[in-house]
Amino acid sequence: MAYRDFQHFIEVLESKGELKRIREPFSPILEITEVADRVMKKDGPGLLFENVVGPLPRLGTPNPNSAVIGNPSIYKPGASPEGNAVSYMPVAINTMGSRKRMSMALSCDDYEEHAQRLEELVRLPGDPPKGIKDALALVPKLIEILRTTKPKTVTSGICQEVVLTGDDIDLTKLPVLTCWPEDGGPFVTLPLVFTHDPNTGKRNVGMYRVQVHDKNTCGMHWQMHKTGRRQMEDAGEKGKNLEVCVCLGGDPAHTFAAISPLPPGIDEMVWSGFLRREAVSLVKAKTVDVMVPADCEIVIEGYVDPSETRLEGPFGDHTGYYSLAEQFPVLHVTAVTMRTKPVYPATIVGIPPMEDGWMGKAVERIFLPLIKMTVPEIVDMNLPVEATFHNVAFVSIKKKYPGHAYKVMSAIWGLGGMSFTKMVFVFDEDCDVQNISEVLFRLGANCDPMRDTLLTKGPVDQLDHAAMQEGFGGKIGFDCTHKLPGENGFSRPYPKLISMADDVKSKIDRVWGGLGL
């Protein structure tokens, strides 16, 4: 089922025992992060902080206690200048922090179902019907896809029950989390950033952290490889500002769509409609020409001047380290709209495991069929959460010829977001790459570091602090497959993997239940 809105999702989580209400008072400055981090580390439930109380963030004041090199921190923990505690709207966090909740967020029992749906969909063009009966069988499926994916325009939505403009705009009244002690200030951590290509008008929805600079300006963390950054640069070439809406909440399928590595030209709201099996309702923003999901909790409207930057960060990032302060674009807020009684959706990132690990794992599983379209010899893939998505990939393949593993490594480094992968380990198809014990066994047994590695260079995540320079660094591939005769100079017979005879295994299977073992 599709969710009416984010609070409907919260209600369903609670009905399934997947949500804990926290009634004790906690501050959005560090305290909510500490509670959430402990819960995430032990696979705990989603959390709804109902009593969010704390000082106003102190903006524009350097933090003299910063231990981060180059930290311009504009926030120093402590009482607000007035010394008064402020009550905020409730904060929901870790709502997608398990396989079950991530699947519930995507309106299914298990997110692998969407991988199967996508695999059926991408097979349609290349697997034409063999007769009129097969063709007619496809019609209902195609009609359903068209009906549920194309967004529809509505004239009103809960996201605009309250409209704040001019002097009424005050972002400090939102419970924006200051997550870690050396953060440069409060950061919106679960935003859906809506923009339009100034050349084509096509919509883009991405998830880019947003730092609150003051009551009506924010830092927009558009990295060098991101679509939002390119759209801003294109707008700048035309001498125009880029209109932006930062949306919070709505059906959680919207949030997943924002982090999905979609092929160029695919609308994230079409993808959200596919996931939720119901078209997304969009309403026009109040002060900018951007359509936003009508079911959002909060929408921050504004524009970015491509010629303007401001120091943004540091930020305790998904790498487990602080990303340091740099110059990034500035969002000027022209309106804040929201529902009458909103809940603020948030997440935190840091040393894994975190909630974002489950979001990344769902991306891995759901988009595997698309990867197989380009690299069909791939059997399975595991992007370990501990390697923060883009550092390590374990891949199993149907090996057919000498050097096949190197072909797959190169293909992965040419695939969109997969191009940021620093280390690729390639295994035979009989290796379960989801089993780290088996992966380590095969890696140690089948890989000679002198012979079976490939070093190269290419783009890396801009947040990768270990890279030789920002956004560019080294990569390495490991051939952990059995070697074929003559492959890369290997001239000896390759041994067989130890395996028990099938008839013996069958016999023991038959008597195993009575052995009491």
**pLDDT over 80 (residue 80):** no
Would the pLDDT of 287 be above 50? yes
Parallel/antiparallel/unpaired status of strands 217-220 and 326-338:
antiparallel
pLDDT tens-place string over residues 220-268: 999 878 888 999 999 999 999 999 999 999 999 999 999 998 888 889 9
Q: Average per-residue pLDDT in the chain? A: 89
Contact 387, 421 (CB under 8 A): no
Is 398's pLDDT higher than 80?
yes
User: Which three-class secondary structure string do you get for 31-52?
Assistant: HHHHHHHHHHHCCCCEEEECCE
CA angle 215, 216, 219 (to 5 degrees): 105
Backbone angles phi, psi at 122, to 5 degrees: -75, -15
Distances (CA, A) of 340 to 86, 131, 159, 288: 19, 55, 9, 21
pTM score of the predicted model: 0.87
In this prediction, residue 144 carries a pLDDT of 65
Q: What is the pLDDT of residue 75?
A: 39
Percent residues over pLDDT 90 in the chain:
74
Rounded distance between C-alpha atoms, residue 366 and residue 384, angstroms: 15
Q: For residue 43, is it left (φ>0), alpha (ψ between -120 and 50) or beta?
A: left
Q: Which two three-digit tokens encode residue 182?
A: 């050396």
Catalytic residue among 251, 317, 452, 461: 317
Helices 132-149 & 268-276 angle (0-180, nearest 10): 110
- In which band, very low, low, confident or very high, does the pLDDT at 132 lie, cut at 50, 70 and 90? low
Q: How confident is the model at residue 463 (pLDDT cuts 50, 70, 90)?
A: confident
Find the radius of gyration of the CA atoms of the chain: 25
Give the separation between CA 51 and CA 277, rounded to whole angstroms: 35
Q: How far apart are CA 170 and CA 217, in angstroms?
A: 10
Could you give the 3-state DSSP secondary structure of residue 335? strand
The reported pLDDT for the residue numbered 490 is 78
pLDDT band at 63 (very low <50, low <70, confident <90, very high): very low
Q: Could you confirm whether 317 is annotated as catalytic? A: yes
Which tens digit of pLDDT belongs to each residue from 165-209?
999 999 999 999 999 999 999 999 999 999 999 999 999 999 999
pLDDT at 68 over 50: no
pLDDT of residue 177: 96
Query: Which tokens in the block code for residue 117?
Result: 């749906």
Identify which of 59-73, 157-171, 250-264 has the greatest average pLDDT: 157-171
Structural domains of the chain, ranges and CATH numbers in brackets: 6-346 (2.30.110.10), 375-489 (3.40.1670.10)
CA 40 vs CA 348, 355, 387: distances in Å: 10, 6, 17
Q: What percent of the chain has pLDDT over 70?
A: 90
Residue in this structure with the two tokens 């801003």, named with its chain if needed: 232
Structure confidence at residue 142 as a pLDDT band (50, 70, 90): low
Q: How far apart are alpha carbons 279 and 288 in whole angstroms?
A: 23
Where residue 58 falls among pLDDT bands split at 50, 70, 90?
low
Asked whether residue 485 carries a pLDDT value surpassing 60, the answer given is: yes
Q: What is the pLDDT of residue 139?
A: 54
b/e sequence 237-274, b meaning 16+ C-beta within 10 Å:
eeeebbbbbbbbbbbbbbbbbbbbebeeeebbbbbbbb
Q: Considering only 81-85, 201-205, 293-297, which range has the smallest mean pLDDT?
A: 81-85
Residue 126 CB burial class (10 angstroms; 0-12, 13-18, ≥19): exposed
